[in-house]
């Protein structure tokens, strides 16, 4: 399954599930990345890390390893 790390700039996706465990999973959920949330990838840093997204009306920056723990579906151009 695709992860948030695979989503390109300018695409929108839907969170399917979180694969992280413990404190990492809780932190990602606290940031608003829960099942069914729509995520728009705004930009990626020049070296690829972090990834800047719009989730639930606010901007969020995630590291690649955090984005790898977020499985997504319905990837589409915005």
Q: Rounded distance, CA 51 to CA 49, Å?
A: 6
Domain with 62 in it: 4-77
Per-residue pLDDT of the chain (78 residues; tens, 9 = 90+): 899 999 999 999 999 999 988 888 899 899 899 999 999 999 999 888 899 999 999 999 999 999 999 999 999 887
What's the predicted TM-score (pTM) here? 0.88
Counting the structural domains of the chain, the total is 1
CATH of the domain at 31: 2.30.30.90
Q: Rounded distance, CA 3 to CA 70, Å?
A: 5
pLDDT of residue 48: 80
Burial 31-69 (b: 16+ CB within 10 A, else e): bebeeebebbbeebeeeeebbebebeeeebebeeebbeb
């Amino acid at each position: 399954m695709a992860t948030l790390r695979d989503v390109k700039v300018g695409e929108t996706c839907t969170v399917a599930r979180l694969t992280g465990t413990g404190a990492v999973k809780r932190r990602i959920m606290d940031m608003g990345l829960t099942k069914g949330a729509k995520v728009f990838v705004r930009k990626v840093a020049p070296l690829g890390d972090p990834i800047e997204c719009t989730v639930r009306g606010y901007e969020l920056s995630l590291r690649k390893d955090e984005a790898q723990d977020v499985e997504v579906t319905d990837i589409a151009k915005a």
